[in-house]
Amino acid sequence: MIQEATITWQEKVAEFAAHSEEMGTLHPELLELAYQENWFKLFVPAVYAGPNKKLPEILRLEEELAEADGSLGWTVTLCAGAGWFAGFLDPALAAEIFADRTVCFAGSGAIGGVAVKTDKGYLVNGQWNYASGALHATIFTANCTMKDEAGADILAENGEPEVKSFILKKEEVNILPGWSYFGLVATGSHAFEVKDLKVPHNRSFTINEDIAVGDTGFDYPFLQLAETTLTVNNLGMANHFIKLVEKSFHSRTGLRRFNEEQVKFFTQELNRCKLEIKQLRKNFYTAFDESWDQLLKDGKIAEDQLTEVSSVSRKLAHACWRAASTLFPYCGLEAARKGTEINRVWRDIHTASQHALLTFEI
């Protein structure tokens, strides 16, 4: 009896990545794969049936996902990252939300709305942009400034207007199609809005305050969590692009388009980019792993260690972008033709580079 060969998740992603881009959202086959693998629940605590993965493992998985397909890696990273909010939610609400096999959080880090505090809860109005995974999300998170019923700002302890985050259900929001950018197309990072939405008290939360439910290491600082997860996405996409560049260039050298000196020059450039990324990747994971070990051992991370994590994250991301720019001219016109794999990966890298959190290398 002949047994069918087992298809790896990477092979399945390769099969449907282009279809996802045509659809403007992850293909149903890739969504089903994400549900089976619990990718959208990566940060969800075990008590809510999460996979009980820790951040060191998650970072390395997200690098693999982004290398397989930028839109998949980015969507999983942003949606799973929003699922990290599980630890700050009302436990009864969280248990209800995460009972859904297809649960997926989408949202925006921007403060795009206003919430008026009332006796029965909140009245929320606002619009939030760039919600990756919006077309298949079951839950949306939204940040709002707080006001009283007279319209005055409610102030936090530091004297600034208070900001709270809210859980909104998919049937309560209106998706505003507008993700028309040239890369990360299948993330479907559309905007969403709500108008005069009544939200009960238990659907508000504040991150980095009281952890309602969490696993070991759940209190890793949010800024560095965001920086590191975004960085490994850029790293994965760059790894993919470099492999495609090398394959493309050498497929054309057989046509004798380049002389020996030109091939040698390209090889030097390629190896230089590879080496820089390899060394910075090593520095990145060393700095992160040291910070993680500090958190588990001491219950906190030294400020200089957090600064190092942020710094090496930016350096690695910028090295990935530089490598893509350096190597693109050696790819041939196929790299400029929409619909090719190498063009898709190049567009994904340059779209990812526009995330504000990693804009500056310093």
Two structure tokens written together for 226: 């965001």
Q: Is 207 helix (H, G, I), strand (E, B) or coil?
A: coil
Q: What are 220-265's pLDDT values in tens digits? A: 999 999 999 999 999 999 999 999 999 999 887 666 778 899 999 9
Beta strands in the chain (DSSP E): 105-117, 121-131, 139-147, 163-169, 174-176, 190-200, 204-205
Please state, for a pLDDT cut of 70, what percent of the chain lies above it. Answer: 96
- Higher-confidence residue of 205 and 15: namely 15
Q: What is the pLDDT of residue 208?
A: 65
Backbone conformation region of residue 360, classed left if phi is above 0, alpha if psi is from -120 to 50, else beta: beta
Q: Among the listed ranges 7-21, 50-64, 245-259, 293-307, which one has the minimum average pLDDT value?
A: 245-259
- Higher-confidence residue of 279 and 82: namely 279
Q: What share of the chain is helix, strand, coil (3-state, %, to 5)?
A: 55, 15, 30
At residue 4, does pLDDT exceed 60?
A: no
pLDDT interval class at 166 (50, 70, 90): very high
Q: What are 18-40's pLDDT values in tens digits? A: 999 999 999 999 999 999 999 99
- Which value, to the nearest 10 degrees, does the dihedral of the CA atoms of residues 345, 347, 353, 355 take? -110
Do 26 and 71 form a contact (C-beta atoms < 8 A)?
A: yes
Domains of the chain: 9-86 (1.10.540.10), 103-205 (2.40.110.10), 222-358 (1.20.140.10)
The candidate with the shortest Cα–Cα distance to 98, out of 56, 42, 144, 54, is 42
Two structure tokens written together for 282: 């090593």
Find the helix or strand (DSSP H, E) in which 250 lies.
Answer: helix 222-253
Two structure tokens written together for 159: 């004297």
Do 128 and 108 form a contact (C-beta atoms < 8 A)?
A: yes
The candidate with the shortest Cα–Cα distance to 58, out of 232, 280, 308, is 232
At residue 214, does pLDDT exceed 80?
A: no
Question: How many CB atoms lie under 10 A from the CB of residue 109?
Answer: 17
Question: How many CB atoms lie under 10 A from the CB of residue 36?
Answer: 10
DSSP code for 291: H
* pLDDT (mean) for 311-339: 95
Please state, for a pLDDT cut of 90, what percent of the chain lies above it. Answer: 83
Q: In whole angstroms, what is the distance from residue 232 CA to residue 281 CA?
A: 9
Question: How many CB atoms lie under 10 A from the CB of residue 214?
Answer: 16
At residue 177, does pLDDT exceed 50?
A: yes
Q: What are 111-143's pLDDT values in tens digits? A: 999 999 999 999 999 999 999 999 999 999 999
